[in-house]
């Protein structure tokens, strides 16, 4: 059996009296696109935050390639090759795409200039262009501020940035929710490129046809529990909706 890149077992999360994750098991395997679906409030975003270091679980274990880990920040998860692209993007709108790729991880000039904190802009621009080319991202211009790009292009920059700093797993929470049809297709193509580059993607989406089009595996949550899992080709919009709305939890041991 393949060892998961990232695995979570018996994850619980309480916010005060609200028990929002009740013993979730989740794994990400090498070179896959895994969709994470469920109705509003099912716990998808909370689970992703836990798996990417933005929240701590109340109980439960995480492991990477079979070794126990715990993350106390998104930066720590990133050191393990894990990053998240959030709905609200978190790009710096006034900076160029290339600057955004290196935001917080700027490269310094070699030698004395670098020691004085002088940035190596030419090298960053070169590497950024390489990264966009590798993922097939075609920007209208690499020199304009990100705020002047379309929503789809901004999302592409955010994904390219995540793929620059994470080499194992990228979580994407509704990456196409705000996009039109054409831009959505481009972002889906980019997600496939990320997978081809050897990085696994966990995609949260409400768009069932999209999930069926792109995912290799589909994990369904309901009310903070695992309720179903499908392989690509074994699911339909009807079976996914049925699992999301009336799925019976696989394990009732932690249900309250
Ligand atoms: N910081 C928080 N404090 C209290 N409750 C929260 C918090 N974050 C999420 N929740 C609750 O946890 C449940 C799961 O939320 P969420 O993970 O956002 O679900 P989903 O992303 O599947 O819509 C919801 O009932 C939500 O109200
Ligand atoms: Mg959510």
Asked if residue 14 has its Cβ within 6 Å of ligand 1, the reply is no
Q: Which pLDDT does position 46 carry in this prediction?
A: 97
- Below-50 pLDDT ranges, the chain: 249-256
Q: Which pLDDT does position 114 carry in this prediction?
A: 83
CA pair distance 99, 46, nearest whole angstrom: 30
CA distance to 31, 88, 142, 144, 203, per residue, from 178 (Å): 26, 10, 22, 22, 15
Asked if residue 205 has its Cβ within 6 Å of ligand 1, the reply is no
Q: Which pLDDT does position 215 carry in this prediction?
A: 98
Q: Are strands 217-222 and 67-69 parallel, antiparallel or unpaired?
A: unpaired
Which of 11, 13, 14, 18 most suits a substitution to test ligand 1, by most atoms within 8 Å of the C-beta? 18
Closest CA to 121 of 140, 104, 106: 106
CA pair distance 82, 43, nearest whole angstrom: 19
Q: Which pLDDT does position 249 carry in this prediction?
A: 47
Q: Enter the pTM of the model.
A: 0.90
Q: Which pLDDT does position 113 carry in this prediction?
A: 84
Which of 12, 13, 14, 15 most suits a substitution to test ligand 1, by most atoms within 8 Å of the C-beta? 15
Q: Are strands 82-85 and 67-69 parallel, antiparallel or unpaired?
A: unpaired
Tell me, in angstroms, the distance from the centre of ligand 1 to residue 43's CA.
Answer: 6
Q: Are 14 and 20 in contact (CB under 8 A)?
A: yes
CATH architecture of 6-255: 3-Layer(aba) Sandwich (3.40)
Q: Which pLDDT does position 44 carry in this prediction?
A: 97
Q: Are strands 59-64 and 6-15 parallel, antiparallel or unpaired?
A: antiparallel
Asked if residue 18 has its Cβ within 6 Å of ligand 1, the reply is yes
125 DSSP assignment: H
């Amino acid at each position: 059996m393949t060892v998961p890149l990232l695995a979570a077992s018996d994850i619980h999360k309480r916010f005060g009296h609200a028990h929002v994750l009740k013993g979730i098991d989740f794994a990400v395997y090498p070179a896959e696109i895994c969709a994470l679906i469920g109705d509003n409030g099912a716990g998808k975003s909370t689970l992703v935050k836990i798996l990417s270091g933005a929240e701590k679980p109340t109980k439960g274990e995480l492991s990477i390639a079979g070794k126990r880990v715990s993350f106390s920040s998104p930066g720590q998860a990133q050191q393990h090759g894990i990053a998240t692209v959030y709905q609200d993007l978190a790009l710096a709108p006034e900076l160029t795409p290339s600057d955004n790729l290196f935001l917080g991880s700027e490269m310094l000039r070699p030698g004395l200039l670098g020691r004085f904190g002088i940035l190596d802009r030419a090298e960053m621009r070169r590497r950024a262009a390489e990264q966009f080319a590798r993922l097939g991202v075609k920007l209208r211009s690499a020199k304009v501020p990100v705020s002047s790009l379309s929503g789809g292009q901004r999302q592409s920059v955010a994904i390219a940035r995540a793929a620059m700093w994470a080499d194992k797993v990228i979580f994407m929470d509704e990456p196409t929710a705000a996009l039109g049809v054409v831009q959505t297709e481009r972002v889906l193509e980019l997600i496939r490129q990320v997978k081809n580059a050897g990085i696994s993607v966990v995609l949260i989406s409400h768009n069932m046809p999209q999930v069926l089009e792109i995912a290799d595996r589909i994990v369904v949550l309901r009310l903070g529990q695992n309720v179903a899992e499908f392989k690509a080709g074994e699911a339909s919009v009807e079976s996914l909706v049925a699992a999301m709305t009336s799925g019976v939890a696989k394990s009732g041991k932690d249900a309250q």
